[in-house]
């Protein structure tokens, strides 16, 4: 069943009605060729979802009736924030898609000393594309929320942002003793920050600055991973170790 995200103010639980607007209307009517009477999964972007039936389709709106609510916990109890040193080319597209599927809640592009890629400003067209990639991946993987893209941020801005997390970990090629499991033994964790360097890795001064705010450098094993691989591997291990990868997921 196809899934769509709808703003909560377009869901009327008392009247058992739902309204879809925007680009999804064209996708429903022209691409999927849905008809009145067909069912869709609707999520309010806050982990509440419903099975709905189409009652009418116009050029700008799709009207639905709510048939039932769905009681499935799809989101991690602990917030995972991934800070990604800007990679070259379109590697960020893959990172965003896979991190969304895994269950990361926030993705922050970061401009580091060794970042080759640059963004002109925070309204760069790349960011619009990234937001669309995350949205489509959230629909496909049946997320209960749409992960946020924050930034891009400077390194100094990230240091301030990371202070809000319960713990922060940094995969670093010169670290060979501490693992992710070692780093997340702390109790009462509500959020975990993971900082992945770009293709050239971190400058040593950056590592020192991260350690100064309490971030823990960890090893992902004896092999050197590409930045896009490290993001996916580190996020997956954190979620697994926190016992929130419960096995309900499926491969598509």
Per the prediction, the chain carries an average pLDDT of: 90
Q: How is residue 150 written in tokens? A: 């924050």
- Owner of token pair 């709510």: 66
pLDDT, mean of residues 208-229: 93
- Give me the pLDDT at residue 123, please: 58
Nearest to 109 by CA among 84, 137, 145: 84
Contact 50, 40 (CB under 8 A): no
Domains of the chain: which residue ranges? 3-70, 79-241
Residue 180 has pLDDT above 80, yes or no: yes
Share of residues in the chain with pLDDT > 70 (%): 92
| Whether residue 196 has a cis bond before it, omega within 30° of 0 | no
Residue 30 has pLDDT above 70, yes or no: yes
Give all strands (DSSP E) within the chain, no chain letters.
3-5, 11-12, 17-21, 39-43, 49-57, 61-70, 79-85, 106-111, 148-149, 153-154, 167-171, 191-196, 216-218
- DSSP SS3 for 228: helix
Neighbouring CB atoms inside 10 A of 91's CB total: 19
Parallel, antiparallel, or unpaired for β 39-43 and 79-85? unpaired
Residue 186 has pLDDT above 90, yes or no: no
Contact 155, 206 (CB under 8 A): yes
- Give me the pLDDT at residue 121, please: 57
The least confident of 16-30, 54-68, 111-125, 166-180 is 111-125
pTM of the model: 0.88
Q: How is residue 37 written in tokens? A: 């009477």
CATH pick for 3-70 out of 2.40.240.20, 3.40.50.2300, 1.10.3720.10, 2.60.40.1180: 2.40.240.20
Q: How is residue 193 written in tokens? A: 């920050």
Q: How is residue 188 written in tokens? A: 């009462």
CATH pick for 79-241 out of 2.60.120.460, 3.40.50.720, 3.40.1280.10, 3.30.590.10: 3.40.1280.10
Fold equal for 3-70 and 79-241: no
Residue 198 has pLDDT above 50, yes or no: yes
pLDDT per position as a tens digit, 13-25? 999 999 999 999 9
Roughly how many angstroms between the first and final C-alpha of the chain, as a whole number?
Answer: 14
pLDDT per position as a tens digit, 86-134? 998 889 999 999 999 999 999 999 999 888 776 665 557 888 899 999 9
CA 155 centroid distance within chain: 20
Residue 248 has pLDDT above 70, yes or no: no
Contact 108, 249 (CB under 8 A): no
Helix residue spans in the chain (DSSP H): 23-26, 91-102, 125-140, 155-162, 180-183, 204-212, 227-241
C-alpha count within 13 angstroms, C-beta hemisphere, residue 241: 18
pLDDT, mean of residues 224-246: 85
């Amino acid at each position: 069943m196809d899934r769509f995200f709808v703003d909560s103010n377009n869901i009327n639980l008392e009247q058992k009605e739902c309204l879809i607007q925007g680009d999804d209307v064209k996708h429903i009517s022209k691409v999927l060729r849905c008809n009145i009477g067909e069912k869709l999964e609707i999520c309010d972007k806050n982990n509440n979802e419903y099975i709905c039936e189409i009652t009418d389709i116009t050029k700008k709106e799709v009207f639905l009736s709510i048939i039932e609510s769905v009681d499935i916990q799809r989101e991690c109890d602990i917030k995972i924030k991934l800070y990604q040193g800007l990679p070259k080319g379109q590697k960020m597209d893959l990172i965003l898609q896979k991190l969304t599927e895994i269950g990361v809640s926030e993705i922050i592009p970061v401009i580091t000393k060794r970042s080759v890629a640059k963004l002109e400003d925070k309204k760069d067209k790349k960011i619009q594309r990234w937001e669309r990639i995350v949205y489509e991946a959230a629909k496909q993987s049946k997320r209960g929320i749409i992960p946020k893209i924050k930034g891009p941020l400077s390194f100094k801005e990230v240091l301030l942002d990371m202070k809000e997390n319960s713990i922060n970990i940094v995969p670093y090629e010169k670290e060979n003793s501490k693992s992710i499991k070692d780093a997340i033994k702390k109790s009462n964790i509500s959020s975990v920050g993971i900082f992945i360097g770009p293709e050239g890795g971190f400058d040593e001064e950056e590592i020192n600055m991260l350690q100064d705010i309490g971030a823990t450098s960890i090893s992902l094993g004896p092999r050197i991973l590409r930045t896009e691989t490290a993001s996916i591997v580190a996020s997956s291990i954190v979620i697994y170790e926190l016992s929130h990868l419960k096995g309900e997921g499926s491969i598509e």
